[in-house]
Chain A
Amino acid sequence: MGTLKVTPLNARHRALGAKMVDFGGWDMPVQYHSILKEHEAVRQRAGLFDVSHMGVFDLKGPDALAAIQYLIPNDASRLTAGKGLYTQLCNPQGGTIDDLLIFCLNAEHWWLIVNAGNRDKDFEWIASQLTGFDAQLSSLADNTGIIALQGPSAADILSRICELDLNPVSLPAFSIRATEIQGHKVMLSRSGYTGEDGFEIYVPYAQIEAVWDSLLTAGQTDGLEPVGLGARDTLRLEAAMPLYGHELDDQTSPLSAGLGWSVKLQKAADFIGKQALITEKEQGLTKVRVGFVLEGKRAPRQDYTLWLDDQQIGVVTSGSLSPSLGYPIGMGYIQLQAGQELPESFDVDIRGQRHPARRVKLPFYKRS
């Protein structure tokens, strides 16, 4: 209960006619006009998202890298200034506290971009693990907002109002730069949560309305549209990107979640959860994230169950009628005994009715 938190773009959303919802305590736009049209705008042209509810943490000090190496299963040691990566925070049991992006601004200055719903939990967790490291954690979340510009036209639109060389050779995925957008100093990374090319722009609260307006104006001729959280969810689902609270939680390891590519068990530094993850890998996963598709138009949804004959084998974590593909898609977890193979097909219980599902390789959608 209590009042909802607002981002610095709240007045803009309301002026644009957005339908606002309570999203984990935040007053956020779920859609402006249509989830399906906003989804399509991002796949075909470009969309603009307010993701200021996410957390930006600053970690500074001579031991900042060592602290990060201890906190995450991915290997940040190869990162130089301006580079970043996707990773998780794991607990000692290998479960996932959050998934996040980290960016190296310089050897002694790093940024961590965390999920909105986990901001407070993550901050306390990281702070509690810094004992013995010469590194200071602070949160920029209450004065830095984030705008995401995503879609095939994102780079063209941005290039009209930003001097930075946006060529993917000079600015590859997960890199970050300080730059200006029409005179406003911002940080800008090539990253996102849609499966399209795109950017996330970190802007002080005082300038964020001006930057939002500049971007919308610059993209007008390309059909840039503001996009709410409804389409953000269907976009990330098609791209099979995990959403904390759905595909990830503190009982689920990144290995189970199919994020093994971001877990570097061989890295020299010890890290929280390392032993548990090594053991899990050696003994074999007991549950595995899968993707599946259905016939018809009925959507699988979180907590629906997965069945093989009369045995429940798993549970759905996310699903939707895919706006881009036109058929229902879902992700979930299947329980496995040691040595068992994943079934190629199974049933989803949709409100008391069994619907045959076929397992598919993730992601469902990959940009061409």
Chain B
Amino acid sequence: MSDYFFTESHECFKLEDGVAVVSITEYAVEQLGEITYVQLPGVNQSLSQGDSFGEIESVKTVSELYAPVAGSVSEVNADLESSPETVNDDPLGKGWLIKLKVDGEPDTSKLMDRAAYNSYLESLR
């Protein structure tokens, strides 16, 4: 059972058998407000760390989604097309965005663990 790794742009992932399950954080959801649309990439698309993989729209704003880790898209959360609000309700669970098949060990050198991310959030408040 691995814990999450976080980006400064508020994406995060956890590893499950070499697959990174990518979400946005609870803080991101709180900032966005009610989510109305999520645009996700096609399966098999290969992403480098930091690549844009989609966009997320809320009533108030729109923002880009960045890959927290390199990999190829093995699955996208198709439920979000009809129920984007799932991201609000359960961002780290049912509201996951994409799964990335990671080659070897993921590069986490630029990422934060939960404690570091929490102090990063403190610095934003």
Residues of A within 8 A of B (CB): 30-31, 34-36, 230, 234, 296-299, 301, 320-321, 323, 351
Q: Judging by beta carbons under 8 Å apart, are A351 and B55 in contact? A: yes
Q: Judging by beta carbons under 8 Å apart, are A299 and B34 in contact? A: no
In the complex, what distance in Å separates the CA atom of A35 from the CA atom of B61?
A: 12
Measured CB to CB, the nearest residue on chain A to B84 is A297
Residues of B within 8 A of A (CB): 33-34, 36-37, 39, 55, 57, 59-62, 84
The smallest beta-carbon distance between B67 and chain A, in angstroms, is 17
Q: Judging by beta carbons under 8 Å apart, are A351 and B59 in contact? A: no
In the complex, what distance in Å separates the CA atom of A36 from the CA atom of B33?
A: 10
Q: Judging by beta carbons under 8 Å apart, are A35 and B36 in contact? A: no
Q: Judging by beta carbons under 8 Å apart, are A34 and B34 in contact? A: yes
Most buried by A among B33, B60, B62, B84: B60
The smallest beta-carbon distance between B60 and chain A, in angstroms, is 6
Q: Judging by beta carbons under 8 Å apart, are B59 and A234 in contact? A: yes
Q: Judging by beta carbons under 8 Å apart, are A297 and B59 in contact? A: no
The smallest beta-carbon distance between A42 and chain B, in angstroms, is 14
Q: Across the interface, which residues of B come within 8 angstroms of A35, CB to CB? A: 33-34, 59-60
In the complex, what distance in Å separates the CA atom of A297 from the CA atom of B84?
A: 10
Q: Which of these, B33, B37, B39, contacts A321 with CB under 8 Å?
A: B37
The smallest beta-carbon distance between B61 and chain A, in angstroms, is 8
With A321-B57, A351-B55 known as contacts, the answer to whether A299 contacts B62 (CB < 8 A) is yes
Q: Judging by beta carbons under 8 Å apart, are A351 and B60 in contact? A: no
Q: Which of these, A230, A296, A298, contacts B59 with CB under 8 Å?
A: A230
The smallest beta-carbon distance between B71 and chain A, in angstroms, is 24
In the complex, what distance in Å separates the CA atom of A274 from the CA atom of B26?
A: 54
Q: Judging by beta carbons under 8 Å apart, are B57 and A299 in contact? A: yes
Q: Across the interface, which residues of A come within 8 angstroms of B55, CB to CB? A: 351
Measured CB to CB, the nearest residue on chain B to A304 is B62
Q: Beyond A35-B59, A301-B62, list 17 extra A-B contacts (CB 8 Å).
A: A30-B33, A30-B60, A31-B33, A34-B34, A35-B34, A35-B60, A36-B34, A36-B59, A230-B33, A297-B37, A297-B84, A298-B57, A301-B61, A321-B37, A321-B57, A321-B59, A351-B62
In the complex, what distance in Å separates the CA atom of A301 from the CA atom of B55?
A: 14
The smallest beta-carbon distance between B4 and chain A, in angstroms, is 25
In the complex, what distance in Å separates the CA atom of A60 from the CA atom of B13?
A: 64
Q: Across the interface, which residues of A come within 8 angstroms of B84, CB to CB? A: 297
The smallest beta-carbon distance between B59 and chain A, in angstroms, is 5
Measured CB to CB, the nearest residue on chain B to A37 is B34
Q: Judging by beta carbons under 8 Å apart, are B37 and A298 in contact? A: yes
The smallest beta-carbon distance between B104 and chain A, in angstroms, is 33
Q: Which of these, B33, B34, B36, B60, contacts A297 with CB under 8 Å?
A: B36
What are 5 of the A-B contact pairs (CB < 8 Å)? Answer: A36-B34, A230-B59, A297-B57, A298-B37, A299-B36
In the complex, what distance in Å separates the CA atom of A34 from the CA atom of B55?
A: 21
Q: Judging by beta carbons under 8 Å apart, are B37 and A230 in contact? A: no
Q: Across the interface, which residues of A come within 8 angstroms of B60, CB to CB? A: 30, 35, 230
In the complex, what distance in Å separates the CA atom of A5 from the CA atom of B37?
A: 34
In the complex, what distance in Å separates the CA atom of A349 from the CA atom of B39?
A: 16
In the complex, what distance in Å separates the CA atom of A36 from the CA atom of B62?
A: 16
The smallest beta-carbon distance between A327 and chain B, in angstroms, is 11
Q: Judging by beta carbons under 8 Å apart, are A321 and B36 in contact? A: yes
Q: Judging by beta carbons under 8 Å apart, are A323 and B59 in contact? A: yes
In the complex, what distance in Å separates the CA atom of A36 from the CA atom of B37?
A: 14
Q: Across the interface, which residues of A come within 8 angstroms of B36, CB to CB? A: 297, 299, 321
Q: Across the interface, which residues of B come within 8 angstroms of A296, CB to CB? A: 37
